[in-house]
Amino acid sequence: MTIISGPNPADLPASAALQPGRRRLRAVGRFVNARVTQLQDGYLQHRPAAVAALAQLRRGVGKPVGAIAELWQLTLEGVPLPPRYGDQATANERAAHTALTLYALHQQSRNEPMHRPGQSIGAAARILAQRSSSAEATRRRFEALGTATTLEEVSHHARGLISQFRALGIPLDYGLFADQLVGLLYPASADRVRLSWGRDFYRPAADEPTTNQTSRAGEAATTEEAQ
């Protein structure tokens, strides 16, 4: 599906969500943040329902919204909708589905939280570049994410980065990520999202954890069998 041709004020992220520092979340970001936090808490406490929910969500990675019936409640119930919408999935529904399924992939077999409010995908990719064997390869993959023109392409490139984040225990703010996915769908805000990603990749925040701190926090992983 190509970029949506016109802005929908109900779906667009607030400009405040794209400013340096801690971003204010829009409605879909708040929804994703709440749902991921709930799932994450349950998963880290080894609650069977949360473990099963994340296993279900992983089966939805790369799949269209609504394609898997067992995910309807997890990815559709409670998603904020615009006043008017048709038969196609809304921008909020598509962003929430993408963020939730990718979070489930990210959290798999990790015993520490992989959702961390305040850590954008640009900041996470910069930490990955610092810690990986090839900073140049990470930079190219991150730039491919930034030049993607459809949500399907964005999801594909993000999945590759997130698999590496998981391997090194690098967390991500999934509420912010969902808001920015919505922003990418509209010409009026897509460039602002890309600018934000580029800034976060090349300009570390003053209060951001150092590479060593992040490395120590990401060493442990569970021995739980992958779902």
pLDDT profile of the chain (227 residues), mean per 10:
37 39 86 98 98 98 96 96 94 98 98 97 97 93 94 96 98 98 95 96 67 37 31
In angstroms, the CA 144 to CA 188 distance is: 20
What are the distances in angstroms from CA 128 to CA 23, 115, 202? 21, 16, 12
In angstroms, the CA 226 to CA 152 distance is: 25
Residue 151 tokens, joined: 């949500």
Q: Domains for the chain: give ranges and CATH numbers.
A: 22-217 (1.10.520.40)
Closest CA relative to residue 180, chosen from 200, 161, 159, 194 = 194
In angstroms, the CA 134 to CA 136 distance is: 5
Closest CA relative to residue 122, chosen from 102, 142, 94, 96 = 142
Is 17 within 8 Å of 26 (Cβ atoms)? yes
Is 114 within 8 Å of 167 (Cβ atoms)? no
What pLDDT does 226 receive? 32
What pLDDT does 103 receive? 98
Closest CA relative to residue 167, chosen from 106, 224, 213, 125 = 106
What pLDDT does 214 receive? 38
What pLDDT does 20 receive? 40
Is 122 within 8 Å of 181 (Cβ atoms)? no
pTM of the model: 0.82
